[in-house]
Amino acid sequence: MKRIVIALALLIALSACSTKVSYYFLDWAIEWQLEDYVTLNRQQEQAFDAILDPFLAWHRSQELPRYSAQLKTLQTELADGTLTPQSWRHHVDMARDHWFRLFAQVFDDLLPLIASLSDKQVAQVIAKLEADEQELVDEYKDKNQEQLIEDADERLEELFADWLGRLSEQQKALIHEHNSRRLATLDMWLEYRHEWLRQFKQALLQRSDSDLLAQRLRLLMTSPDELKSDVHKQKLAQNTENFGMLLLQLHQSLSERQQKHFKRKLGNLIDDLSSLLPSSPFSSLVVKRVFGL
């Protein structure tokens, strides 16, 4: 659940000093992250740039309004007390749909680029992904349940402190109680990630078969939950609702200062998104205003 923040800010993965500044440099950030996994040749770089520019234009015109609308709905539900664990689960499902829609939008354009990877480039991608997976395994191996709960407490306390300000002992206790009741999914999650990587490697190694590549990558990129067991999905759904209950408990416990902190942070995020929309009268002036030019 660490990817889910109280206001779904991770929908757009913009966590730098300013949402507006981050968004205007998103193309650079994407290319920088890509370089961690594979070194493209000049022709591939040109092909990727040709995909990226229209994708970002689509994202700004079609997706940002969705994010803004959902955040405003969440803001209203919190303000009038209508948010429930079930409606929180609906918000999480919407956030997942946002994420998978990104892959669906760019999928057909990316396939030729992926198919063009050399054996050396594929080996580079696989080595990086395997290293990432091993890092996760090393992070959690040999930890008992008490240590896992302690780690989860630390992550959530840091998350909520960012959105609410300094937490009270009562709020820390609520977080600990939530993590203590959370249904165990770690082993299933690691198994799912391992199976996802296994099938992804298989798809890359057989990339010369374009139909097979498209079929496998479409599953992995847009419908990865099909790789999860029914038990895993049921536990995840229950944990999501339990997290929604934690949100309600924390919201009810907020001090006046914390309420102001949260409203200001959420309001600023919504304002930033609104200013980025193509229909905004300020959108063409955002960069100048952000940098004080």
Picking from 142, 138, 152, the residue whose alpha carbon sits closest to that of residue 180 is 152
Report whether 109 contacts 43 (CB < 8 A).
Answer: no
pLDDT surpassing 80 at residue 287: no
Which of left, alpha, beta for 292 (phi over 0: left; psi -120 to 50: alpha)?
A: left
Minimum mean pLDDT among 6-10, 73-77, 104-108: which range?
6-10
Which of left, alpha, beta for 119 (phi over 0: left; psi -120 to 50: alpha)?
A: alpha
Greatest CA span in the chain, whole angstroms?
60
**Greater confidence, 225 or 2?**
225
Average pLDDT over residues 221-246: 92
pLDDT digits (tens, 9 = 90+) for 105-147: 888 998 999 999 999 999 999 999 999 999 999 999 889 999 9
pLDDT surpassing 50 at residue 51: yes
Q: For 110, what's the count of Cα atoms within 13 Å in the CB-facing half-sphere?
A: 15
pLDDT surpassing 60 at residue 189: yes
pLDDT surpassing 50 at residue 84: yes
How sure is the predictor about 25, in pLDDT bands with cuts at 50, 70 and 90?
Answer: very low
Report whether 175 contacts 189 (CB < 8 A).
Answer: no
Note the pLDDT of residue 30.
58
Structure-block tokens of residue 14: 């913009």
**C-beta neighbour count of 125 within 10 angstroms:** 16
pLDDT surpassing 60 at residue 8: no
Q: Which of 172-176, 211-215, 219-223, 276-280 has the highest mean pLDDT?
A: 172-176
